[in-house]
A and B are shown apart, each in its own frame.
Chain A
């Protein structure tokens, strides 16, 4: 089979290149457009509807919730389409949205639309969200932070370091992002801001050894916790994921013990977050999600699909750039904000 595979690849690649070569130099042919396509597809951005706006739309005169509660029985098309819009616009995703709509149209008279949708979403969010801060005896607990570029890993470490300091724990930060320019400087500022220790190396150094050194230092000086930063990486590169798996293995080597691996997800991310979660779960054994940037207009609904499919619990949310802008994830409050209730 191997030869066949190579054969196919070879042929494809050769033919592609030859064709492209023969095309270069030729002027591009532009087909005359038929129905002209508008440049602007939408001129106004609609706000995400909420179940509350639905009740207004339906001419509610009573209190919003009363009205919603009375909106029961098999819902009509208009109701379904508003619910669909709410869910899709929160990035919950097509699959889960269709599922919820289906169950909604089959629903019976004794439940309000609001309650039904709320329950359907919450069903997926029913898990243990405790956070481990301790390790086996004679070990140092390590929290590892992973995720794609720019989601907020380093900032989240700063915030969590502060939170742990407030709880009376001593913290060492490991500047495991040795790839991005000035990443260690960034983390160093957070160390200073939160009164944490930091172990760093020069750019291009081996991330594993930085983490290893941080653990060694924490162990020798009896620090309570190591928070290890890693370089942002795309989730579709087996090289980069392997490298991460290696860092994790090193962090988990005695006296280190990885007690939490946090996947940091950006709430503005759409359906790709599910892929990110799958890949990082497989390569780094993610134990919890931190959903950042919820202070913006994005709702981060994709985490519902992630929790449902992969069972990784969201543990914290980021709500700003300040050191205290971190909250514990609460499913009910989250779902209410998705629904705008």
Chain B
């Protein structure tokens, strides 16, 4: 999507450079594309219009940059403005001088309030606080039990009784004070913003508990309705902020901008999965990239951070750059990559990869990776450190030892050499001269620019280079065209 948007913007804005500024007509066309992208990301219509108007105002006065194409400049402006709106002043949670600090959660049915209450409690616990949960959702069957189970799992007590939500909240708060808890989180039933009776009820809960913070919990897949919900809850409860849930879905999450844009309160936390610990502060720049369809790179970064030890990575990077990268390093890396998920899935997250690479990655299954591992394991330590010594007879031995063919061993060694060369070139700053890298580098450069150079330069060249090398050495013995089913690499269970 981001590729598509930036490509479309490139087309519109080519040949403008001489004029020094974007003409109104070009700006109209470019912003028309941006508008469409925002709408496709579920940003609400009037929020989209207001946002576009603000971007227009900003771009109108701006001189065209020397280093960026006009299309890139538009994207950059859009991205920056998104970060600005999504970020704004951050909300820093401070604790009430007279504890407990009370937090009220509200939102529609199914937004994720109950799970969020537990995650939030856990978060406070990690901050060294002593949270207490109040289950005031007496509406949905077994909602109280759900919170009790979650509370037990994180070691946080849960208060509830079967009277009525307002009394439960009141009594729970009293109990928390009595036993000296310093943070109280109140879970409430999901309610529709047009359900006057239930909106009055939550208002009453708010009145009797006087929360220090009231958060609207909103689902990241929400469509145009986000503004109605957000506005109605804000008008009723005076929100202090927003918590966005289900950011592990592949939705672009425009609802966050809609909600933010209509209540003007910060988005504070983000829930990113079903596990209690899948909960984090909200990062505006990640969200901005996501709305523009660039979020995948960030997911990749997160997964990398979760699964790979940065120290090990640093050590390996220096060996890569100096050309000392060995087959042992390669094995370590292979295993780390496997831990992160399927190759196809990972490849999909990277900008600027050719379709060919993606398809090929999709077709890689566990068996192929196992085979590579078997081949490497059949080598001696010396061979793995220094593959040049692997001559004909050694190849035959390795092939026999790993139950594969000499062709397969040859192929692996050739590709490894190729890869090593590329890595070294990257380290030396040289770009391998390979055909077809223009488009690739464009996409990555744009992602880089918008993200503050998060994506390594030269990656696209590397990918293209390896592909080119690959074409020179076509794989022996039929492509694996197996559909990605069954025995492919499966990522570690996330739940």
Chain A 2-38, CB-CB to B under 8 Å as 1, else 0, gives 1111111111111111111100000000010111011
Q: At the interface with chain A, which of B126-134, B164-172, B312-320?
A: B312-320
Alpha-carbon separation in the docked complex, A264 to B92 (Å): 38
Contact call B423/A42, Cβ cutoff below 8 A: no
Nearest Cβ distance between residue B490 and chain A, in whole angstroms? 6
**Chain B: number of interface residues, binned into ranges:** 35 or more
Residue of B nearest to A43 (CB): B262
Which residue, of B141, B223, B227, has the highest number of chain A Cβ atoms within 10 A?
A: B223
Contact call A2/B372, Cβ cutoff below 8 A: yes
Chain B 119-156, CB-CB to A under 8 Å as 1, else 0, gives 00000000000000000000111110111111001000
B111, B193, B223, B264: the one contacting A40 at CB < 8 Å is B264
Asked if A213 CB lies within 8 Å of chain B CBs, one says: no
Alpha-carbon separation in the docked complex, A94 to B456 (Å): 34
Alpha-carbon separation in the docked complex, A11 to B44 (Å): 39
Asked if A262 CB lies within 8 Å of chain B CBs, one says: no
A19, A41, A270: the one contacting B50 at CB < 8 Å is A41
Alpha-carbon separation in the docked complex, A90 to B225 (Å): 8
Nearest Cβ distance between residue A34 and chain B, in whole angstroms? 6
Chain A 315-327, CB-CB to B under 8 Å as 1, else 0, gives 0000001000000
A-chain residues with CB within 8 Å of residue B224 when the two chains form the complex: 88-91, 270, 298
Supposing A9-B347, A37-B54 touch, asked if A88 and B317 sit within 8 A by C-beta, the answer is no
Q: At the interface with chain B, which of A51-59, A120-128, A178-186?
A: A178-186
Contact call B141/A149, Cβ cutoff below 8 A: no
**Chain A: number of interface residues, binned into ranges:** 35 or more
B-chain residues with CB within 8 Å of residue A45 when the two chains form the complex: 46, 227-228, 231, 262
Nearest Cβ distance between residue A173 and chain B, in whole angstroms? 12
8 A Cβ contacts from A135-175 to B:
148-152
Interface of B is mostly: helix
Contact call B426/A35, Cβ cutoff below 8 A: no
Nearest Cβ distance between residue B296 and chain A, in whole angstroms? 11
Alpha-carbon separation in the docked complex, A168 to B45 (Å): 47
Which residue, of A31, A42, A46, has the highest number of chain B Cβ atoms within 10 A?
A: A42
Nearest Cβ distance between residue B133 and chain A, in whole angstroms? 13
B50, B314, B495: the one contacting A21 at CB < 8 Å is B314
Contact call A11/B262, Cβ cutoff below 8 A: no
Nearest Cβ distance between residue A183 and chain B, in whole angstroms? 8
Supposing A16-B454, A45-B227, A88-B39 touch, asked if A2 and B45 sit within 8 A by C-beta, the answer is no
Asked if B467 CB lies within 8 Å of chain A CBs, one says: yes
Asked if A280 CB lies within 8 Å of chain B CBs, one says: no
Supposing A4-B469, A14-B316, A150-B219 touch, asked if A234 and B80 sit within 8 A by C-beta, the answer is no
Contact call B261/A42, Cβ cutoff below 8 A: yes
Nearest Cβ distance between residue A20 and chain B, in whole angstroms? 7
Chain A 211-246, CB-CB to B under 8 Å as 1, else 0, gives 000000000000000000000001111111010000
Residue of A nearest to B42 (CB): A270
Contact call B225/A17, Cβ cutoff below 8 A: no
Alpha-carbon separation in the docked complex, A50 to B314 (Å): 59
A-chain residues with CB within 8 Å of residue B142 when the two chains form the complex: 182-183, 185-186, 188-189
Supposing A10-B337, A17-B313, A185-B145 touch, asked if A238 and B345 sit within 8 A by C-beta, the answer is yes
Alpha-carbon separation in the docked complex, A39 to B353 (Å): 37
Further pairs besides A8-B347, A239-B493: 9, Cβ < 8 Å: A6-B343, A10-B330, A20-B310, A90-B224, A186-B140, A268-B223, A269-B219, A296-B193, A297-B225
Chosen A-B contacts, 24 in total, with CB atoms closer than 8 Å, are: A4-B467, A8-B350, A8-B463, A10-B333, A12-B455, A14-B320, A17-B304, A35-B61, A41-B54, A42-B227, A45-B231, A90-B224, A149-B112, A149-B274, A150-B112, A152-B109, A182-B149, A186-B143, A234-B246, A234-B249, A238-B490, A269-B222, A296-B108, A297-B229
Give 6 nearest A-B pairs by CB, closest first. A270-B223, A150-B110, A41-B261, A15-B456, A270-B42, A181-B149
